[in-house]
Amino acid sequence: MRIDIFSDFTCPWCFIGKRRLERALAARPQLAARAELCWRSFLLNPDMPPEGMDRAVYLQHKFGSSSRSEQVYRNVARAGLAEGITFNFDVIKRTPDSMKAQRLLRFAAKRGLEAPLAEVLFSAYFLQGQDIGDSDTLTRLARSSGLPQKESQVFLESDAEAEAVRKEDREARRAGINAIPCFIVEGRDALPGAQPPESLLQLFDLALTAAPDA
């Protein structure tokens, strides 16, 4: 079973959605053994400058007030704790442009290492406040994910896969995806948002029922 996951590494709900997907698959070990997880690009902030933006300024633009952003992130933190994620929003000083991280994910996918890289990127940003828009940071994180350091560095210094990321983002929006994470099973059945495992299991069952060999 193919599961496409449209997400962005600066989206906390995508991190939560990842954990909920893992719980759903753990509940169906036979399905998990043959599930193919494919991480797809969606740029949460497509107009973010390449150098990123001061976190306080970003939140002001996005939510209009510090009290509103604090309320939103309290709710996110509460949901994260239920999934074993201790968000550390206070240590995030800049909101990065996620283009390089999305490009690096495609580099990792060609080597079968997109899953460990995705986990490292989410954790580095949301738990440690690392700047995942910075090439040096990404090179180090790539190495910790099992990717070759020198090749990763050369790749990040280029513009490779940038247009592929933009194209995938455009196609996702044209297809009607406007909320992430968004899970698509077998290229057909979609479920937007960080839904609970029970909803994901229903999506899996729907896809299996509709499969030609079901």
Domain boundaries, the chain: 2-210
Position 213 pLDDT exceeds 60: no
Q: How confident is the model at residue 211 (pLDDT cuts 50, 70, 90)?
A: low
What global pTM score does this model have?
A: 0.95
Q: Model confidence over 48-66: pLDDT tens digits?
A: 999 999 999 999 999 998 8
pLDDT, mean of residues 183-206:
94
Class of domain 2-210: alpha beta
Q: Model confidence over 61-96: pLDDT tens digits?
A: 999 988 899 999 999 999 999 999 999 999 999 999
Give how far the C-alpha of residue 97 lies from the chain's centroid of Cα atoms, to the nearest Å: 13
